[in-house]
């Protein structure tokens, strides 16, 4: 494996079993949440994963963070395959990879004070430290997330903090151990628009200061374009397009990415004369598509799309897409 | 820092009239139980007067069939009732917590097995089993405690399990797992504190239940006839026909009232304790 790659996900797959029917006519249906996902994150890079609800973004993150067992596949972190580790070894790895969760109202224990919350990672991984040293580290962590003075916030309970402050505390909890990798699962989606930018800038600054590598999950393309070096677009458990942010936004190749880009207002400000593509309805993840997973909604479908699942192909400049028709589409637009 | 915490708890408790009342009741009963030898005018096991005396200046609540002072009996009875109630409730809650937390957190087969066990204990007819057990292992203080806790751990276990099931899905439990916190720490720092308010209210219920069960077992003559508890007083009162004469006013009514008051004291304390342990129920004061 290339030395500059921190995290490599190889053919990762997760299927859930859904039981339906009555006692005698029990049926089991597989739900394909994540389907053969591959990607790499280089050191110091932020990879954005975007996609609609239920496309498997969070499931992927949970598998990478070892909160959920994969059905098959490999997750290589820093040269170690996480999927074959024992529980105790996984816990050691967790010192180096931390997660920021979506809902700051849910991830902080309401019965614990901020100090106790931030001390939890230290108690788990730095057992030899004295209490006073831990308090000092906690103070530093609180100041590094721009809640000053730290003493004002240390002894508060989560319900005495605002949503933005809570998310900052959650971020502090993730960075207090100085990890090398952070998975952020829609860290701003539950926050007011007014505090979002603050949180995003904080993450960027922490990345600069600590050399963090990040996996940034979001459903908002404008957030992703602000944060990420590269973006992977997921649809129905597969990555349909992956590439540098500028490429994804200015030259999307997959029809789904095109549709996503076309409806984001902030982006349209820069890109003129773009027609808006809107798809209706929900998708059914229970069927494993024979052809392209996007075929039910795709405006450009051809016969091959129904019968053959597209392979991911390189377009150069580490821009890759999984679509049979991307060349035709390119011609059509130009 | 910790001092502040306790001060805060006291502020919450003292600003709640109901809770204060409940605590006051319990404290009064505790004092009575502790200082019974000093308050009681007579030794309740000694014959100090003639039998079946009406209340008068010397014997505040008269005497019983063998001439013991009923008022002193009541004071000493507080000890037994309170002790049995608290110990039995404590045992059943600890057992219930253990089983509920294990079943709820680990789920799967462990859960199914433990919950079927709970079902078994719950569906067994309660009073006959109790009587049978009490009759079988014989009347003594510890046997009664054992009988009560054997019967009453099941419903707290079930209630606590359901609470654990909701707590398990909370974000902070998952966050703790992703941090790499050990399972023991997760259970004690994240699951248990969320369970304690429920466990406390269950404890209060169990304590008042245990006190009532003890009284009814004793009343049926299945308790230790030589310990002085409110139940045995009622048992002798019934056996000597006090229910049919005027004597019920000073022989039957007082133990009944004391039982009721003690149970109420437990209930009120329970409510305010819940408020302390669940910060979100606290009002800003």
For B81, the domain range is 30-50+59-281
Which residues in chain B are closer than 8 Å to A67, comparing Cβ atoms? 174, 177-178
In chain B, the residue whose alpha carbon lies closest to the alpha carbon of A179 is B179
Give the model confidence (pLDDT) of A48-99 as tens digits: 999 888 888 888 998 998 888 888 888 998 888 888 888 888 888 888 889 9
Q: Is residue B16 a part of any domain in this protein?
A: no
CA-to-CA separations, B46 to A163, A316, A318, B42, B74, in angstroms, rounded? 69, 103, 98, 8, 14
Cβ pair B170:A173 closer than 8 A: no
* Exposure on the CB side of residue B18, measured as CA atoms within 13 A: 11
Q: What is the CATH number of the domain that holds B137?
A: 1.10.3720.10
**From the CB of residue A27, how many other CB atoms can be counted at a distance below 10 Å?**
9
Is it the case that residue A334 has pLDDT exceeding 60? no
Q: Is residue B21 a part of any domain in this protein?
A: no
Query: Which residues from B are below 8 Å from A when comparing CB atoms?
Result: 1, 170-172, 174-182, 185, 189-190, 193-194, 277-280
Grade residue B278 by pLDDT with cuts at 50, 70 and 90. low
ipTM: 0.79
Q: Is residue B176 a part of any domain in this protein?
A: yes
pTM for this entry: 0.75
Is it the case that residue A27 has pLDDT exceeding 90? no
Averaged pLDDT, B223-234:
82
- CA separation for the pair A133, A131 (Å, rounded): 5
Averaged pLDDT, A159-165:
88
Q: In the prediction, which pLDDT does B281 show?
A: 59
Give the model confidence (pLDDT) of A224-237 as tens digits: 888 899 999 998 88
**Residues in chain B, total:** 285
Q: In the prediction, which pLDDT does A298 show?
A: 79
Q: Is residue B10 a part of any domain in this protein?
A: no
A190 token code pair: 């539950």
Best residue in A103, A115, A120 for a mutation probing chain B (most B CBs within 10 Å): A120
Q: Is residue B264 a part of any domain in this protein?
A: yes
Which residues in chain B are closer than 8 Å to A111, comparing Cβ atoms? 193-194, 277-279
Domains belonging to chain A, first-starting first, are 5-96+184-195+210-288 (3.40.50.300), 105-178 (no CATH)
Query: How much is the CA Rg of chain B, to the nearest whole Å?
Result: 22
> Which residue among B181, B193, B280 places its CB closest to the CB of A120?
B181
Burial label, A332 (beta-carbon count in 10 A; 0-12, 13-18, 19+)? exposed
Domain tally for chain B? 1
Q: Is residue B137 a part of any domain in this protein?
A: yes
Q: Is residue B119 a part of any domain in this protein?
A: yes
- What mean pLDDT, rounded, does chain B reach? 82
Q: What is the DSSP letter of B186?
A: I
Is it the case that residue B1 has pLDDT exceeding 60? no
Give the model confidence (pLDDT) of B49-62 as tens digits: 777 777 777 777 77
Which residues in chain A are closer than 8 Å to B279, comparing Cβ atoms? 110-111, 157, 159
- CA separation for the pair A245, A50 (Å, rounded): 12
- CA separation for the pair A296, A305 (Å, rounded): 10
Q: Which residues pair with B94 in a beta bridge?
A: none
């Amino acid at each position: 494996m290339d030395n500059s790659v921190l995290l490599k996900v190889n053919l990762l797959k997760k299927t859930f079993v859904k039981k339906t029917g009555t006692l005698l006519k029990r049926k089991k249906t597989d739900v394909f949440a994540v389907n053969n996902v591959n990607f790499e994150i280089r050191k110091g890079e932020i990879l954005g994963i975007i996609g609609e609800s239920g496309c498997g973004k969070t499931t992927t993150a949970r598998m990478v963070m070892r909160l959920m067992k994969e059905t098959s596949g490999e997750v290589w972190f820093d040269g170690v395959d996480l999927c074959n580790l024992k529980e105790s070894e996984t816990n050691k790895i967790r010192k180096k990879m931390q997660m920021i969760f979506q809902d700051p109202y849910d991830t902080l224990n309401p019965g614990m004070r901020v100090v106790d919350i931030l001390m939890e990672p230290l108690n788990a991984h730095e057992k030899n430290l004295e209490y006073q040293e831990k308090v000092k580290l906690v103070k530093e962590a609180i100041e590094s997330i721009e809640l000053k003075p730290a003493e004002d916030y240390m002894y508060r309970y989560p319900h005495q903090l605002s949503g933005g402050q809570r998310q900052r505390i959650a971020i502090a909890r993730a960075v207090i151990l100085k990890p090398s990798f952070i998975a952020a699962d829609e860290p701003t989606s539950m926050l007011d628009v007014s505090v979002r930018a603050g949180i995003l800038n904080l993450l960027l600054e922490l990345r600069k200061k600590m050399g963090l590598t990040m996996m940034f999950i979001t459903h908002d393309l404008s957030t992703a374009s602000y944060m990420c070096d590269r973006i992977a677009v997921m649809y129905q458990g597969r990555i349909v397009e992956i590439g540098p942010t500028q490429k994804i936004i200015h030259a999307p190749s997959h029809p789904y990415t095109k549709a996503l880009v076309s409806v984001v207002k902030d982006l349209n400000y820069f890109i003129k004369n773009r027609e808006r593509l809107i798809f209706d309805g929900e998708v059914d993840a229970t069927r494993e598509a024979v052809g392209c997973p996007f075929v039910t909604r795709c405006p450009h479908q051809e016969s091959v799309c129904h019968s053959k699942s597209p392979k991911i192909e390189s377009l150069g400049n580490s821009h890759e897409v999984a679509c049979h028709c991307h060349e035709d589409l390119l011609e059509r637009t130009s | 820092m910790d001092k502040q915490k306790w001060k805060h708890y006291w502020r919450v408790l003292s600003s709640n009239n109901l809770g204060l009342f409940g605590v006051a009741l319990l404290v009064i009963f505790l004092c009575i139980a502790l200082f019974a030898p000093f308050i009681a005018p007579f030794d309740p096991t000694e014959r100090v007067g003639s039998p079946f005396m009406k209340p008068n200046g010397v014997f505040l609540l008269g005497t019983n069939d063998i001439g013991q002072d009923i008022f002193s009996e009541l004071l000493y009875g507080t000890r037994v009732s309170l002790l049995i109630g608290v110990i039995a409730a404590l045992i059943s809650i600890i057992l219930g917590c253990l089983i509920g937390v294990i079943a709820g957190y680990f789920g799967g087969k462990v859960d199914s097995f433990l919950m079927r066990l709970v079902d078994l204990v719950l569906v067994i007819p309660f009073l006959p089993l109790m009587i049978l057990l009490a009759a079988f292992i014989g009347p003594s203080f510890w046997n009664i405690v054992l009988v009560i806790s054997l019967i009453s751990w099941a419903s707290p276990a079930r209630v606590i399990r359901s609470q654990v099931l909701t707590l398990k899905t909370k974000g902070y439990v998952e966050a703790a797992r992703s941090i790499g916190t050990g399972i023991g720490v997760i259970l004690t720092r994240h699951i248990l504190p969320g369970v304690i308010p429920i466990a406390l209210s269950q404890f209060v219920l169990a304590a008042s239940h245990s006190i009532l069960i003890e009284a009814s077992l004793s009343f049926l003559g299945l308790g230790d006839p030589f310990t002085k508890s409110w139940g045995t007083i009622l048992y002798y009162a019934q056996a000597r026909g006090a229910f049919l004469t005027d004597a019920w006013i000073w022989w039957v009514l007082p133990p009944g009232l004391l039982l009721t008051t003690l149970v109420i004291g437990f209930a009120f304390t329970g409510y305010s304790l819940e408020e302390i342990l669940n910060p979100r129920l606290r009002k800003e004061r």
